[in-house]
Structure 1
Amino acid sequence: MFDGECNFCDHSVQFIIKREKGALYKFAALQSEAGQALLKKYRVPSEIDSIVLLDGDRCYFRSSAALRICKNLKGGWQLLYGLLIMPKPIRDYFYRILAKNRYKWFGKKDSCMIPPPEIRDRFL
């Protein structure tokens, strides 16, 4: 799940789609009905307003989610997965800086994107 109003988050979703090994991921904006239902189902804390990765019955937030996604990307992006060995508070410190400034640095949309027909079935 991603912030559907955030330009950086939208570009990140497009980045993942272009580089993932097969169509592994499905996407939902946090603001969507599907996103809200999943947040409730997985009991995601209300203060989480950035990336959320659901993997089976596990739920990952912030840097843990981003780095786990990198594991399934083509090319050198997989190497970032190794950063999971770094203590989570340190990883999340840097992640929070980006998350806190994402609207200021990358802008904000008035609404969530409408995916093109060829990938629409990947969005919940």
Structure 2
Amino acid sequence: MPPLSTALPLPPHIQPAERVVLFDGVCKLCNGWAQFLIRHDHERRFRLCSVQSAEGQAILRWFGLPTEHFDTMAYVEGAELFVRSTALLRILAQLPAPWRLLAGLRLIPRPLRDWAYDRIALNRYRLFGRYDSCLLPSADHARRFLHD
């Protein structure tokens, strides 16, 4: 009898050990975050995916998250999902210094971190603006984005 696999099933479009950052593609703050990751993720640990893309929508559905109205960044490591401040801090911890030092904010209790995160997330369009449609990655950045 073949051994049973103990690995968790993976969300659609995600490979084992792949790290994917889901972000709101029309939000100017979120697009700035994606550009920040492209600029500072020298080891190319992260793939990016807009929640409005077909791939993003499939991943959201996989985890039972809303697909029409999404107020948080999501971060997927293989089969695990992280949201809100936990997602942000897990990503920062994998970036080079000085950015990884910000991951020390995880010492703040999660309810307090998430409260602060939510204040920004829920007001991001008013504070930072929005695009009429998702911006397409430039040709040199396209390989950083998750797509079929």
The TM-score with structure 2 as length reference comes to: 0.78
Match of 1:75 in 2: 97
Say whether the 8 Å CA contact 1:30–1:49 is kept in structure 2.
no
Q: Give the stretch that moved more between structures: 68-77 or 3-12.
A: 68-77
Change (3 A) 1:31 1:71: same
Q: Which whole-Å CA distance do the structure 2 matches of 1:40 and 1:91 have between them?
A: 26
Q: Which runs of 5+ in 2 are unaligned?
A: 1-21
Q: Which runs of 5+ in 1 are unaligned?
A: none
**Of 24, 28, 42, which residue of structure 2 is paired with 1:3?**
24
* Residue-by-residue CA offset, 1:79-118 (whole Å, 9 max, x unaligned): 1112112211100010011111110111010111110111
- Larger Cα-atom Rg: 2
The answer to whether 1:122 aligns with 2:116 is: no
Q: Give the letter for the 2:124 counterpart.
A: R
Say whether the 8 Å CA contact 1:52–1:62 is kept in structure 2.
yes
The TM-score with structure 1 as length reference comes to: 0.92
Q: How far 1:28 sits from its partner (Å)?
A: 0.9
Q: Give the stretch that moved more between structures: 41-50 or 10-19.
A: 41-50
CA RMSD of the aligned region, Å? 1.5
Say whether the 8 Å CA contact 2:71–2:122 is kept in structure 1.
no
Match of 2:64 in 1: 43
Query: Share of identical aligned residues, percent?
Result: 38
**Of 16, 29, 35, which residue of structure 1 is paired with 2:50?**
29
**Of 84, 93, 102, which residue of structure 2 is paired with 1:62?**
84
Number of positions where the alignment pairs a residue of Structure 1 with one of Structure 2:
124
Q: Which 4+ stretches in 1 moved above 4 angstroms?
A: 45-48
Match of 1:94 in 2: 116
Q: Which whole-Å CA distance do the structure 2 matches of 1:72 and 1:20 have between them?
A: 8
Match of 1:17 in 2: 38
| Bigger share in strand | 2
The answer to whether 1:107 aligns with 2:129 is: yes
Say whether the 8 Å CA contact 2:73–2:83 is kept in structure 1.
yes
